[in-house]
Structure 1
């Protein structure tokens, strides 16, 4: 079984959550066999071809890069060769081993048929386990750049490498190159390459990048669509993640009953997913339609019957339009409360929850359950409010869902992990930052009857 290295997003638990749900079903069935706060090591049960991995990267919201693993070694050899502190007596032996036993073995698998070719490469190191790194990244990159360049020059016409600024190389906190750089320097194109070194608790994985997130597409959608409401809009990355949590069947139908300005629907449209979008607010319905029309022009595709699939409807009365058991999955962010410009008192938050938020969620979930099919999932965001002393005010959406007969689905299923670290498994929900005063809680429910 082939192993791949996934570069995780800033919120690594959310990235692992998204992957773990995709790994439950074909064609991507598999397990996370190792991970850190920066990388996940994925082993698929079936052979995955390059085109499928490109499609997977396009589909994912929380993954920066997908890389093919070439080899892995005990991480101690790299720590001994490039320690953070004073050089140990064994550093020369460790570096000699890297020069003689590691790099010469992996380069022929990364650079194929390079005779008389011009080569550009870059080294990216992901050293963070769950706290500080254990290896001097700057020294390691400088060493590898020069050694690999000299080795490749034996066969190729010209060899260049990505040069990090000297100031950054000397610092202890050197970021790897971003997906944007991979695209700008054509590092996915033959014979170029980005070489990844990713560290976990025991291993150092060496890999070659084969697909990256395209930040230009996301920026275009996020910043240049005609209708934006940043205070209430969901980020495109998060929209993708919510959709992926549903594991929709082929030709399945997605519903967003609080579609806002249409971010979730836009991400669904780009993946060819059938969808409906509803809102109680007329202005937002028109904003969603304008954004979807703009999307079809920019990316040159067609959304049939737009007027019939995006329309005004109260999320508490979905069954007034949709037939029972007609929707395959629901991804949505309902009303999270009014935009806040200061912290509220705990009593004020509780009043908001009791009078507005909780009744809205209960009635909406009740309506969603009626229209969704058996075994269909609901990926729904709920608010968590912050007080000035950083205490959190929440409400028990889990109990509301269970009262309605919905099953709570674990967001990081332990069955998809081949190795156990930290206490991140089988969470009922995940909380992520929205702004200074409100956080988003991601919940996943399933209709079982």
Structure 2
């Protein structure tokens, strides 16, 4: 078994895990913001999951959430949990998730574990705890997922505790490069975060070696993430400038990350374009309308909402005539947040069956991606062509 630490918006990460590993194999641990995964997990899965910060292998589930008893188990079994140390040098870290515990208490436990581990090696270093949990940068920069590093995590689940060892951590430097180091960027058209692009691809669940279409490709973020995941990609956009930007960015991606370069780009209006086949899956962020720094007036919102609803509805009608029944789609559409925190949605959500689609329920709630200061959120719909 494995556990995954979910990201800033856990409902998106949980929906992603449900799609990738199967809803019956995923259990949300509300005390800690983790999810238990009962299905097999690959060693490189962390690189494909946009909504999970950390993947850890479960060592044992303890029938207690008492820290002294947890420490006692770790001390008794730490040499077994560590296993073989290839070069005789070891760096360890310890994190406590979901516990009301002070950093110095976790640090004291780490020092006791160090004392036990001196039976294995005299060259051992402990990563100090500035908080009860180590952050991603600490795990990566101290090489705690390498053969000579170990991060042990205690994850509270009600009156019980999972003890686990971290196997993978999100590569924050790679995400930063894929977001900010690309040669062609355009803040005016909006930037789809690479992590959200990964989540959307996983929500669509394309078949292996599928060709993914993005009819609103912009600067190519979604295309680049699909290429990194091993898919063929096909991008179109109303703007010639965006096609040029996507081309430059995908060329950079190929040279930087040695991805395959099986992609096609062309100008096209998503409301009336004719796309070449095959189209195995459609994943895109559609037109989100104009940005707002504050909630708009009721009249302005109605105008923008109507315009967005028209464009997205026409796109769905158009693409629906060109894909086979059963084709998966994951699309991002706008939703507007009021000062009270309520959201206004596109009317087409209640018309999906008339448009030729069934909505795949991957979450109990609406899937919304937004920052605390954003008015225009991205609402994520997972659809299947009827």
Question: Which bin holds the TM-score, normalised by the shorter protein?
Answer: over 0.9
CA distance in 2, matches of 1:53, 1:255: 28
1:375 is aligned to 2:361: no
Q: Give the corresponding residue for 2:118.
A: 153
Q: Is the 8 A contact 1:362 1:400 kept in 2?
A: no
CA distance in 1, matches of 2:253, 2:96: 36
CA distance in 2, matches of 1:207, 1:235: 29
TM-aligned CA deviation for residue 192 of structure 1:
2.0
Q: Give the corresponding residue for 2:63.
A: 74
TM-aligned CA deviation for residue 30 of structure 1:
5.9
1:161-190: CA deviation from partner (whole Å, max 9, x where unpaired): 01134xxxxxxxx36223332221111222
Q: Give the corresponding residue for 1:8.
A: 6
Helix, strand or coil for the counterpart of 1:180? helix
Q: Which of 223, 235, 238 in structure 1 is aligned with 2:196?
A: 238
CA distance in 2, matches of 1:312, 1:114: 55
Q: Give the corresponding residue for 1:39.
A: 34
TM-aligned CA deviation for residue 379 of structure 1:
0.6
Q: Which of 353, 356, 368 in structure 2 is aligned with 1:405?
A: 356
1:391-419: CA deviation from partner (whole Å, max 9, x where unpaired): 4322233223221120011022xxxxxxx
Q: Give the corresponding residue for 1:331.
A: 283
Helix, strand or coil for the counterpart of 2:272? helix
Q: Give the corresponding residue for 1:266.
A: 224
Q: Is the 8 A contact 1:401 1:407 kept in 2?
A: yes
Q: Is the 8 A contact 1:125 1:137 kept in 2?
A: no
1:334-393: CA deviation from partner (whole Å, max 9, x where unpaired): 111112243311221012212x11110110011121222221111111111133444432
- Which moved further from structure 2: 243-252 or 153-162? 153-162
Q: Give the corresponding residue for 1:314.
A: 269
Gapped runs of 5+ residues in structure 2?
none
Q: Is the 8 A contact 2:104 2:129 kept in 1?
A: no
CA distance in 1, matches of 2:70, 2:242: 58
1:296-330: CA deviation from partner (whole Å, max 9, x where unpaired): 111134414x5xx1110111123x2335xx31111
Given the superposition, is the C-alpha separation of residues 30 and 389 from structure 1 closer, same or farther in structure 2, using an over 3 Å criterion? closer
Given the superposition, is the C-alpha separation of residues 156 and 222 from structure 1 closer, same or farther in structure 2, using an over 3 Å criterion? same
> What is the TM-score normalised by the length of structure 1?
0.80
Q: Give the corresponding residue for 1:121.
A: 92
TM-aligned CA deviation for residue 135 of structure 1:
2.5
1:141-164: CA deviation from partner (whole Å, max 9, x where unpaired): 123112101111123112210113
CA distance in 1, matches of 2:87, 2:290: 63
Q: Give the corresponding residue for 2:127.
A: 162
Q: Is the 8 A contact 1:116 1:157 kept in 2?
A: no
> What is the TM-score normalised by the length of structure 2?
0.93
Q: Is the 8 A contact 1:116 1:156 kept in 2?
A: no
Gapped runs of 5+ residues in structure 1?
79-94, 128-133, 166-173, 413-424
Helix, strand or coil for the counterpart of 2:197? helix
After superposition, residues 6-405 of structure 1 pair within 5 angstroms as 6-24=4-22, 31-36=25-30, 38-44=33-39, 47-48=40-41, 52-54=42-44, 56-78=45-67, 95=68, 97-100=69-72, 102-114=73-85, 117-127=88-98, 134-165=99-130, 174=131, 176-231=133-188, 232-304=190-262, 306=263, 309-318=264-273, 320-323=274-277, 326-354=278-306, 356-405=307-356
Given the superposition, is the C-alpha separation of residues 98 and 218 from structure 1 closer, same or farther in structure 2, using an over 3 Å criterion? closer
CA distance in 2, matches of 1:98, 1:327: 52
TM-aligned CA deviation for residue 139 of structure 1:
4.4
Helix, strand or coil for the counterpart of 1:243? helix
CA distance in 2, matches of 1:379, 1:227: 25
